[in-house]
Amino acid sequence: MPASVIAPEHRTATAEPKLPGLLFERLSLHYGGWVIFSDLDLVIRGGEFVVLLGASGVGKSSLLRIAAGLARPETGRVVATDGLGLAGRIAYMAQQDLLYPWLTVLRNVMLGSHLRGEPRDPDRALHLLERVGLADRARALPSELSGGMRQRAAIARTLYEDRPIVLMDEPFSALDTLTRTRVQDLAAELLVGRTVLLITHDPLEACRLGHHLVVLSGQPATLGAPISIDGPVPRALDDPELLRTQGRLMRALTEASAG
């Protein structure tokens, strides 16, 4: 049976038993002649924010795409821990912003509702754009935005989906330091009570946002022992527990790259 990254005593006050978690069960993936990972197991309990780290090319994005239903493993499966289907319950943000160039920023944020034939909520979309600092660019086209602005628009679109499970692949990587910190704060606020799996290469970001940090490393890749951090998120940049955990995480990443 897969080992959980969540110990019961580390559950946050926002976690609820009925929230869907994710079960990654005996996943195997090959690419060409390479084994990316084999018999990989992971459990993420409902309402927890888990951060996945590791070297480029180790298989982090592939793992996220499998969870989102965008890629198929050779063996294994990803299911919700409550026994219900995952369809319609996941919001996914890829590394690329994937904005439609012919749609305004506002319409891009509401794109999911449009594609599903559901009523759109411009007021809510505008509110999210305001929160990410793009309210004045709501009528602009993606070509009129900088790379960081485009990524903020993609974050607003992901948050607009309002799903219980959120998968994010380096969502803040194109942002400058100050904007990145502000948008991390916003994501932490709006994702309370969701089940989140986030990929990042930034140890500080991981320690600010994650309840549990997991390193994927090796060939084939395996998951290291989770590093858990108590307390609510986002954590202050000078939080002593954050600084201690960041050092521990850096040692784990260094050892993983040396191995």
Three-state DSSP class for residue 108: helix
Query: Nearest Cα to 215, choosing from 174, 259, 181?
Result: 259
Looking at the predicted structure, is the pLDDT value of residue 128 above 60? yes
Looking at the predicted structure, is the pLDDT value of residue 247 above 90? yes
Looking at the predicted structure, is the pLDDT value of residue 259 above 70? no
Domain boundary among the residues 115, 143, 162 is at 162
* Domain-embedded: residue 210: yes
pLDDT for residue 5: 52
Domain boundary among the residues 139, 162, 185 is at 162
CA atoms of 213 and 252, how far apart (whole Å): 10
Q: How many domains does the chain have?
A: 2
Q: By percentage, how much of the chain surpasses pLDDT 90? A: 78
pLDDT for residue 10: 38
Residues 222, 111 share a domain: no
Dihedral class, residue 215 (left if φ above 0, else alpha if ψ from -120 to 50, else beta): beta
Average pLDDT over residues 25-35: 91
pLDDT for residue 168: 96
Residues 234, 106 share a domain: no
Residues 122, 197 share a domain: no
* Domain-embedded: residue 54: yes
CA atoms of 230 and 239, how far apart (whole Å): 12
* Domain-embedded: residue 37: no
Domain boundary among the residues 162, 193, 211 is at 162
Tell me the helix, strand and coil percentages in the chain, rounded to 5. 35, 20, 40
Residue 231 banded pLDDT, cuts 50, 70, 90: confident
Residue 19 banded pLDDT, cuts 50, 70, 90: confident
Residues 171, 49 share a domain: yes
Containing structural domain, residue 148: 101-162
Residues 224, 109 share a domain: no
Flag the least confident range among 68-82, 110-124, 176-190.
Answer: 176-190
Average pLDDT over residues 82-86: 91
* Domain-embedded: residue 135: yes
Looking at the predicted structure, is the pLDDT value of residue 33 above 90? no
